[in-house]
Amino acid sequence: MKHSNVAFFIPHLGCPHQCSFCNQKSISGQSMPPSPEEIADTCRQALREIPAERRADTEIAFFGGSFTAVSREYQQRLLEAAASFCGDGGFSGIRISTRPDGISREILDFLKKYPVSAIELGAQSMDNEVLRLNGRGHTAEQTAKASALIQSYGFSLGLQMMTGLYGDSKESTYETAEKIISCRPDTVRIYPT
């Protein structure tokens, strides 16, 4: 069975940096973040359209901006809106996307209160010079540490990798791939730039 998402985009909200490659408003086609009401309306529609037998392989996903860096109140409002559509004939859980430096024990304790099943980290590169040149604002070591912490809490780990970033080379791309593999993620997304 193929995995699917009921996806919502939070365009650049919460992210403390402006990376060289990122324009979330342009990428997502959205300039306004979703409201809890939009989450509920879209989930109700998705429940009508997605057959019951496929819902166990479908997550409600918050992509785009760094979810764990938005205000706690907004996180809570979105998670509460989505949580009511998970389990018992609903969707399998909630997937969030965030930055490696947006993970801590306190944040993971908060996320455990909701049916968050997966956390994707925008690692992008595991080469500190490539990360610096692209204004990423975190290190490869922070990615490895956040990955291990996420897994220790029992969340499914996803890592995002970008190839062709400014300063990247064939060697650093292979090294990034090897370091991402060593984190033992459950999923990997590779974005060519």
Q: 68-85: per-residue pLDDT in tens?
A: 988 999 999 999 999 999
Q: Provide the pLDDT confidence category of residue 19 given band limits of 50, 70 and 90.
A: very low
Which two tokens mark 141?
């070591």
Q: Judge contact between 190 and 163, C-beta under 8 A.
A: yes
**Residue 100, Cβ density class (10 Å: 0-12 exposed, 13-18 middle, ≥19 buried):** buried
Q: 47-57: per-residue pLDDT in tens?
A: 999 998 889 99
The Cα-based distances of 79 to 25, 31, 69 in angstroms read 22, 20, 14
Q: Which of 15, 62, 50 is nearest to 158 (CA)?
A: 62
Q: Which of 14-23, 68-77, 110-119, 130-139 has the lowest mean pLDDT?
A: 14-23
The pLDDT of residue 90 is above 60: yes
Q: 136-171: per-residue pLDDT in tens?
A: 778 999 999 999 999 999 999 999 998 988 899 999
**Residue the block writes with tokens 């609903």:** 90
What does pTM read for this prediction? 0.87
Q: Which of 159, 154, 132 is nearest to 143 (CA)?
A: 159
**Residue the block writes with tokens 């292979």:** 174
DSSP string, 14-36: T-----TT--HHHHHS-SSPPPH
Q: 63-72: per-residue pLDDT in tens?
A: 877 899 889 9
